């Protein structure tokens, strides 16, 4: 073995070992568990069954999966629509100001996720700041309850994941040479055409990365629907959480996790495809 090969193996070993031990093994256990029957008090009874998967496709639970996909999809769409212009503005702005703007985008991460989400309850509840503000402006009807709906959950998810989208799109926009705009306009394209036919396609990998990120994090999320959905908006993450921590039906929870992992893998694969294709076009 050459020294270069030895070095590669040596450098990869800790990372691969970590992943194997703390990701592959737990995922393997989850997959195995999903084929067992549940014990009365939790754990599994080691009898093979496909019942957990059959149950997951029951309209009731399939409906939860669809709701989750809908909420995650809306959150992704909103995050991209809000995040793209922000990323564009930062990337096209003066170079010396970019570090500060990026720093501001990351600032919310200085506080805890739970606290950031709980703050929305303080803002939106029936006696919350927003209702108090409305009353000060002269509104005197019943207080408006803005919490515990699908829309509130979407707002919470967008709020928390927007920085990821901005960073991902910024990363791909900032790699584009400023000459592209000049060349395009010299060749007679309007600024809108330049954006639509040159910049947007080239920033597609950034959009894909950001979007997949938001979608994958959103569809498995259980904290935001729990707090901002008041337990009334049930996403698949809550369903899985409940199976392990309250219903004590680990095999069913495992089957649901397995399906979720499947969905995520398909999406990540699709994203990889977008990236490699656009790179192919770039170089080819």
Residue 149: count of CB within 10 angstroms of its CB? 16
Residue 234 in contact with other proteins, rule: CB under 8 A: yes
Span near other proteins by CB under 8 A; candidates 3-11, 133-141, 212-220, 244-252: 244-252
| Site membership for other proteins, residue 63 (CB under 8 A) | yes
Provide, rounded to whole angstroms, the least separation between the CB of residue 70 and other proteins.
11
Of 54, 24, 21, residue with least CA distance to 251: 54
- Write out the two tokens for 40: 């009365």
DSSP state of 109: G
What is the spatial distance between Cα 256 and Cα 61, in angstroms, rounded to a whole number? Answer: 9
What is the DSSP code string of 226-279? HHHSTTTS--HHHHHHHHHHTS--HHHHHHHHHHHHHHHHHHHHHHHHHHHHHH
**Considering the rule CB under 8 A, would residue 133 count as an interface residue with other proteins?**
no
Window contacting other proteins (CB under 8 A); options: 8-16, 40-48, 171-179, 257-265: 40-48
x/- mask, other proteins, residues 91-110, rule CB under 8 A, reads: --------------------
Q: How far is 155 from 145, CA to CA, in rounded Å?
A: 15
Q: Is residue 60 a contact residue for other proteins (CB under 8 A)?
A: yes
Cα–Cα distance, 284 to 190 (Å, whole number):
26
**Which of residues 60 and 187 has its CB atom nearest to other proteins in the complex?**
60
In whole angstroms, how far apart are CA 283 and each of 2, 202, 209, 276? 31, 12, 20, 11
**Residue with token string 């979608």:** 215
Interface with other proteins includes 232 (CB under 8 A)? yes
C-beta closer to other proteins: residue 59 or 178: 59
- In the list 75, 233, 255, 263, the residue contacting other proteins (rule: CB under 8 A) is 233
Contact call for residue 181 and other proteins (CB under 8 A): no
The answer to whether residue 194 forms part of the interface with other proteins (CB under 8 A) is no
Looking at 85-93, 141-149, 178-186, 213-221, which segment touches other proteins (CB under 8 A)?
Answer: 141-149
The only residue of 129, 245, 265, 266 in contact with other proteins, by rule CB under 8 A: 245
Q: Which residues bind other proteins (CB under 8 A)?
A: 38-43, 60-61, 63-64, 67, 125-127, 145, 147-148, 230-234, 238-239, 242-249
């Amino acid at each position: 073995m050459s020294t270069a090969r030895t070095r590669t193996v040596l450098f990869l070993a800790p990372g691969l070992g970590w992943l194997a031990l703390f990701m592959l093994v737990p995922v393997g256990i989850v997959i195995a568990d999903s084929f067992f029957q549940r014990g009365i008090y939790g754990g599994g009874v080691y009898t093979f069954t496909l019942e957990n998967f059959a149950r997951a496709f029951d309209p009731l639970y399939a409906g939860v999966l669809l709701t989750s996909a809908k909420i995650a999809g809306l959150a992704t769409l909103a995050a991209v629509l809000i995040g793209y212009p922000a990323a564009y503005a930062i990337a096209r702005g003066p170079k010396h100001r970019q570090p500060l703007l990026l720093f501001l985008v990351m600032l919310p991460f200085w506080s805890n996720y739970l606290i950031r989400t709980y703050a929305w309850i303080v803002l939106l509840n029936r006696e919350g700041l927003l209702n108090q503000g409305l009353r000060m402006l002269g509104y005197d009807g019943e207080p408006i309850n803005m919490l515990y709906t699908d829309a509130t959950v979407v707002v919470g998810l967008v709020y928390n994941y927007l920085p990821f989208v901005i960073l991902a799109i910024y990363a791909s926009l900032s790699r584009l040479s400023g000459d592209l705009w000049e060349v395009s306009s010299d060749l007679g394209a309007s600024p809108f055409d330049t954006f639509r036919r040159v910049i947007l396609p080239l920033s597609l990998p950034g959009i894909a990365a950001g979007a997949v990120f938001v979608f994958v994090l959103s569809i498995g999320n259980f904290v935001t629907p729990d707090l901002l959905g008041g337990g009334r908006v049930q996403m698949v993450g809550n369903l899985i959480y409940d199976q392990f921590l309250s219903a004590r039906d680990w095999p069913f929870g495992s089957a649901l996790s397995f399906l979720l992992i499947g969905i995520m893998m398909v999406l990540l694969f699709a994203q990889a495809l977008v990236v490699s294709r656009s790179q192919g076009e770039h170089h080819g």
